[in-house]
């Protein structure tokens, strides 16, 4: 499907979601409570069949944390962006999608490590890179004590 077709299809299929066309991809924002269900539908339904999660990013916005999923369908070769925002910025939590795409399990561990976002029902939520007592460096309020970033 082209971006326009995909947008039209998603608007009809997910009426509650907020859908817009970004500079490259169709972007769909869902609420946390419907994330897992939406992800499952996007992957399993024949029309969309987004079976390949190629990027998972956590972003620290001023009011909340955002998790951004870049999805591609290998059958239809179309791409979209799925977004979810946490309710709370200080103790953020979203549902894990590792039951839908296995690779999310490890990318979510990275987001947890660097941004401190907790993923509900994640089977193995450990830090990937840093020590347990380290802060979450990609947060905007992280204090860079050794001044390695801001000189």
For another protein (CB under 8 A), the number of binding residues is: 37
Contact (Cβ atoms closer than 8 angstroms) between residue 92 and residue 86: yes
**How far is it, in rounded angstroms, from Cα 148 to Cα 53?**
32
Kindly tell me which of 9 and 142 has the beta carbon lying closer to another protein: 142
**How far is it, in rounded angstroms, from Cα 105 to Cα 109?**
6
**How far is it, in rounded angstroms, from Cα 143 to Cα 149?**
10
Task: List the one residue from 78, 85, 105, 122 that touches another protein (CB under 8 A).
Answer: 105
What is the nearest approach in angstroms of another protein to the Cβ of residue 44?
Answer: 13
Q: Please state, in angstroms and as integers, the Cα–Cα distance from residue 109 to each residue in 16, 25, 128, following that order.
A: 29, 25, 6
What is the nearest approach in angstroms of another protein to the Cβ of residue 81?
Answer: 8
Beta-sheet strands, E only, within 12-132: 18-21, 26-30, 52-60, 65-72, 79-85, 93-95, 118-120
Residue length, the chain? 151
Is residue 122 part of the contact set for another protein (CB under 8 A)?
Answer: no
Kindly tell me which of 14 and 52 has the beta carbon lying closer to another protein: 52
What is the nearest approach in angstroms of another protein to the Cβ of residue 30?
Answer: 17
Phi, psi dihedral angles at 95 (to 5 degrees): -75, 150
- The mark string for 36-75 relative to another protein (x by CB under 8 A, - otherwise) is ---------------xxxxx-x-xx-------x-x---x-
Residue ranges that bind another protein, judged by CB under 8 A? 22-25, 27, 51-55, 57, 59-60, 68, 70, 74, 77, 81, 101-103, 105-107, 110, 114, 127-130, 137-138, 142, 144, 148-150
């Amino acid at each position: 499907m082209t971006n326009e077709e995909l947008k039209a299809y998603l608007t009809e299929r997910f009426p509650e979601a907020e859908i817009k066309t970004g500079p490259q991809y169709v972007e769909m924002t869902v609420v946390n409570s419907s994330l897992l269900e939406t992800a499952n539908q996007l992957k399993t339904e024949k029309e969309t069949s987004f079976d390949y999660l190629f990027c998972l990013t956590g972003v620290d916005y001023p009011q909340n944390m955002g998790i951004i999923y870049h999805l591609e369908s290998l059958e239809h070769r179309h791409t979209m962006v799925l977004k979810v925002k946490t309710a709370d910025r200080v103790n953020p939590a979203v549902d894990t999608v590792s039951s839908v795409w296995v690779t999310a399990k490890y990318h979510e561990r990275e987001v947890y490590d660097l941004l401190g976002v907790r993923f509900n029902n994640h089977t193995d939520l450990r830090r990937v890179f840093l020590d347990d007592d380290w802060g979450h460096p990609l947060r905007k309020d992280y204090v860079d004590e050794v001044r390695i970033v801001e000189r």
